[in-house]
Structure 1
Amino acid sequence: MGVVRRFYFTAIALFVFLHITYSQADSLVLDTDHKEFLVGEIKKMERSVLEIDAPYGDENFKIKWSSIREIYTQSKFVVSIKDRIYRGRLASLPDQKIKIFDNDTIYATCKKDDIVYLNPFKEKFSDRFGAMVEAGFNVTKAQDLRQFSLRSSISYKTDKWTADASYNIIRSSQDNVEPVKRTDGLLNYRRILPKNWYLIGTIATLSNTEQRIDLRANSQLGIGKFILSSNRAYWGVKTGVNNNLERFSDDSSNRNTWEAYLGTEVNLYDIGDLNLSFLYMGYSGLTDTGRYRADINFDAKYDLPLDFFVRMGVSLNYDNQPAENASDTDYIVRTGIGWEW
């Protein structure tokens, strides 16, 4: 009889434990032949990939958004649906639809594919941070070439505004050639507006030896819009004014001018573990008539396990009125391995 009692006690305790655990967890039904069921804590969904921390795995599971048949959450999320943002819980409905709700209030009902991203609605200051660091090092015997590159960024996100900063360096040396140095930094603040519009303020710095730029400091104010925003890709444009303060190796050619700018950015991420991004910024002189500058960046990033990645990037800077004895273009090609969190 004692064995039977212990069995029933253990079974009841296990039932209560599972009930409490599952009632506080988020759950997914996967689009497979057997309708697999996954329970855990959803960390985020962005770029068409949902990340969930399940108690029966050593690592977070990453699942394609298109592979999820149903979703039910107990925790609140910041939910982006094309041109609108909501805060609430999610529950699947028939015909591949999802409702965003809280208690008895339904905020919106939409198709599953209309959801662009999910971010947990977190109250803690530290929970809203993200960061990335990447390093590369190349050595060749020919002419004793040595090149080191570092890319880093940090971001902070809320449902009404975002801020991010980045810092990148290139150092290269080889026999019979002057050392190459390039450093750039960026600080962005974006205020989110309705209908996929946003206000943006940017401070950007650049120095490179190829164009004899000791310092280029840009201060920008503008407005932008996401023309395409989905869980497969996004495409945005922005325009505004820029104050361009430059100090060259030749002190006599320092400049302080105003420019109008037009930029566009495209990100593609529904291609397996590969992400592609393209950024173009064009500047036309307002006080320095006839001057045109352009900054172009292209990155191909492949995701690895444990939040590691490898990336190959190309950057080009063009100026039709460079400093005296300086090149009108500067470009770099870099590869590296990094980690993001």
Structure 2
Amino acid sequence: MDDGGSGDDIEVKRGWRHTVRKVKEDTTARWGLYIVAIVLAISAYTMIDSNLSRLTLGAMSDFTFAEALPIFEHPERIPGPGEGEGHLPPAFHADGSMAHPLGTDPDGRDYFTRIVYGAQVSVSVGIVSTLIGFVGGTLVGAVAGFYGGKVDDVLMRIVETVYAIPPLILIIIFTVFITGGNPDIMYAVVGVGITFIPVFARIIRSEVLSIREMDYIEAARASGVKNREIILRHVIPNSFAPVLVYATLQIGVTILIVAGLSFLGYGAQPPTPDWGQMLNVSHGYMHANVWLSIWPGIAILITIMGFNLFGDGLQDALDPRLNE
């Protein structure tokens, strides 16, 4: 009997190396990861480019990268008289070159540039909102599940009350109340994050209820380790797998929700390039200039599909029932 072989089998089924290997073997997860990586790279590029002057204390001007690539224009600058023309169709050629591959918007701004820079807003708010819900829900769920009793009852009743309110209504009420009727994308992000706390809390609590009875938790208690340290060092880290998968899938949902808020006028405001806000502007030109709606819709679809494919693959990789 080869003991070394059995030991290797056990080792490869655990840890991050096994997870990475399972994701690589899953075709859908791999394609999802490619899409996510490309979208994140574009978001990072546009974020650095948009804040270049502030990050370098004025040593470099804004949109230096964009100026180096003629296909990019300032996404918020409205061309002056005679500089540009609105509603140009996609692949419009000027002097034999493709000046506007996706056409121009009603203000004459290059649509390709605004789609690219819109990734910065959509992806960043999606990640930040999910992170708010992830952190808040993890803390609430871990404390409720670990202590139980009255602490659990009080926290979970609050969670269930928030969970019972339709998310979109709660977000709009929160945004309008905080901003005094002047919508702002940052408050919308916080509002979306708050609506996600109950879901994450319920998932974490269900995991903690089983983990708190484990032998190593009892051993830590017997050794005199404080409850706070047990929660932070043992309970939360060992509850991460299902929450991490849900968080990955939730980023796509968040992007869709924030795009919907921008479409309704409660998210990003003009002239900020945002896919949802671009759909808001484009719906008035649906018949004459249909491409104004198509391109931001495709961008939202591809981004959400990437996060969902990657999340599904990550779920398979972390599911112990599939790794036996």
Higher strand share: 1
Q: By the TM > 0.5 criterion, same fold?
A: no
Higher helix share: 2
Greater RCO (CA < 8 Å, at least 6 residues apart): 2
